[in-house]
Chains A and B, each alone.
Chain A
Amino acid sequence: MTTTMDPRAAATARPLLPEPRGELSGAVVRALRGGDLGPWPATVGDPYGDDLQLALYLLYELHYQGFDGVPDDREWDPALLGARRTLERRFLDALRADVPHDGDAEGALAGLLVEPVGHDENSVSHHLKRDGELWQLREYAALRSLYHLKEADPHAWVIPRLRGRAKAAMVAIEFDEFGGGRPEEIHAQLFADLMTDLGLDTTYGHYLEAAPAEALATVNLMSLFGLHRALRGALVGHFASVEVTSSPGSRRLAEALRRAGAGPAAQRFYDEHVEADAVHEQVVRRDVVGGLLADEPHLEADIAFGVHATGHLEDRLGAHLLRAWRQGRSALRVPLAEPPTTTG
């Protein structure tokens, strides 16, 4: 099945469709297996819940790698696109209702440019650095693999929608994310190497079944922003907030991995991000955000929205992880297999 650790096999295998988590995801899985989408429920329920987030995740994944046994051209199936529209409207409406409406892009980013004094008990990276156990680091990496194995992919969709300074800067950062021309240095590959160090399965999509709604939502947000030209401002805000928060967070995660005795590749991923994202932060604020604001000033509120929505969903995920770990239980829906060799 999909438990191979051969990187070439991992890269070419298509993920399996997961178990549905309710009516919506059930209908989508059935449709992707070749059945009818069927009557769509009149109300789609909790916008942050497992059912809606999984259904949306499956529909978005058709634009990335697809699924085993699902024909590639289902990506543009009008019935599936219509279903996606209902779900993402619900998700987007909830986000717009739940985050601040200050419309101030620079202010939103300035809020991220400060570091807390001492330990922040609501931060996952602070927790992992000080108290993190190896099993928690493995769970964290498994969850984050849903994004990091396609790191920077959803952001590439914004490129044709930018011009001039914003476009040149965005492409320069993306070039770095994609390894600067060297496949072994693509950030997604560095993450796969980290996973190998932690004894995790690097197959694309392998941990979808294990991921709770809070983790799916953080990835769905990027797909939502990336796929809609109308949300290009929000995508840029999202990207800026990731780059601005990454360096200090990566430092803490690198230390957590060193302390837990993970291998060199595991530390390398976060060490690289300390250095790279200190650069990316400067370029994204000055030229991607600054360039887009100069070009399309009316997008400022959307840029701020992208920053706030990212923080909102990251906070939800962080709260979920810390709640579970403090009670000594797994934060995943499916426990991880033990690593093939135990690290001390």
Chain B
Amino acid sequence: MPNDPERPRRVTVEPGGPVLVEGPVEVVGDDGTVTTSRRFAAAICTCRRSRTYPWCDTSHRRRVKKGEETS
């Protein structure tokens, strides 16, 4: 739907996080397997830590010990 010459597909890069791509989208893995998301946008993991790769599962988030400043 959003991918034509008048309206190119929009991709948004979150620093330190996923790449957001307007959906629906297919991701082709190293081994050729294709994963599909029908969502209005898909968050593609760039940190490789996701347990639901290729989709971001927020595993990229910073981890803090108890009492450590969070801001």
Q: Which of A180, A248, A279 contacts B43 (CB 8 A)?
A: A279
A164–B55 CA distance with the chains assembled, in angstroms: 28
A172 on the B face (CB < 8 A): yes
Question: Are the CB atoms of B41 and A115 closer together than 8 Å?
Answer: no
Residues of B in contact (CB 8 Å), total 25
A107–B12 CA distance with the chains assembled, in angstroms: 22
Per-residue contact bits, chain B 48-71, to A (CB 8 Å; 1 contact, 0 not)? 000110011110011111100011
A114 on the B face (CB < 8 A): yes
Minimum Cβ distance to chain A for residue B18 (Å): 7
In the complex, which residues 245-276 of chain A have their Cβ closer than 8 Å to any Cβ of chain B?
247-248, 251, 274-276
A156 on the B face (CB < 8 A): no
Task: Using CB atoms, name the residue of chain B closest to A120.
Answer: B66
Question: Are the CB atoms of A180 and B39 closer together than 8 Å?
Answer: yes
A323 on the B face (CB < 8 A): no
Chain B residues within an 8 Å CB radius of A251? 51, 57
A183–B61 CA distance with the chains assembled, in angstroms: 33
Chain A residues within an 8 Å CB radius of B58? 115, 247-248, 274, 277-278, 281
A156–B65 CA distance with the chains assembled, in angstroms: 37
Chain A residues within an 8 Å CB radius of B57? 247, 251, 274-275, 278
A276–B58 CA distance with the chains assembled, in angstroms: 11
Chain B residues within an 8 Å CB radius of A276? 39
* Residue contacts A-B, CB under 8 angstroms, 21 given: A114-B64, A115-B58, A115-B62, A176-B39, A176-B40, A180-B38, A247-B58, A248-B61, A251-B57, A274-B57, A275-B57, A278-B55, A278-B56, A278-B57, A279-B20, A279-B41, A279-B42, A279-B43, A282-B12, A282-B17, A283-B41
A110 on the B face (CB < 8 A): yes
Question: Are the CB atoms of A113 and B43 closer together than 8 Å?
Answer: no
In the complex, which residues 146-169 of chain A have their Cβ closer than 8 Å to any Cβ of chain B?
none
Q: Contacts A274-B57, A282-B20 given; 7 further ones with Cβ under 8 A? A: A113-B61, A115-B62, A117-B64, A251-B57, A274-B58, A278-B56, A283-B20
Chain B residues within an 8 Å CB radius of A277? 58
Task: Using CB atoms, name the residue of chain A closest to B50.
Answer: A278
Chain A residues within an 8 Å CB radius of B65? 116-117
Minimum Cβ distance to chain A for residue B49 (Å): 12
Q: Which of A115, A274, A279 contacts B64 (CB 8 A)?
A: A115
Question: Are the CB atoms of B64 and A111 closer together than 8 Å?
Answer: no
Minimum Cβ distance to chain A for residue B11 (Å): 12
Minimum Cβ distance to chain B for residue A295 (Å): 19
Per-residue contact bits, chain A 273-310, to B (CB 8 Å; 1 contact, 0 not)? 01111110111001000000000000000000000000
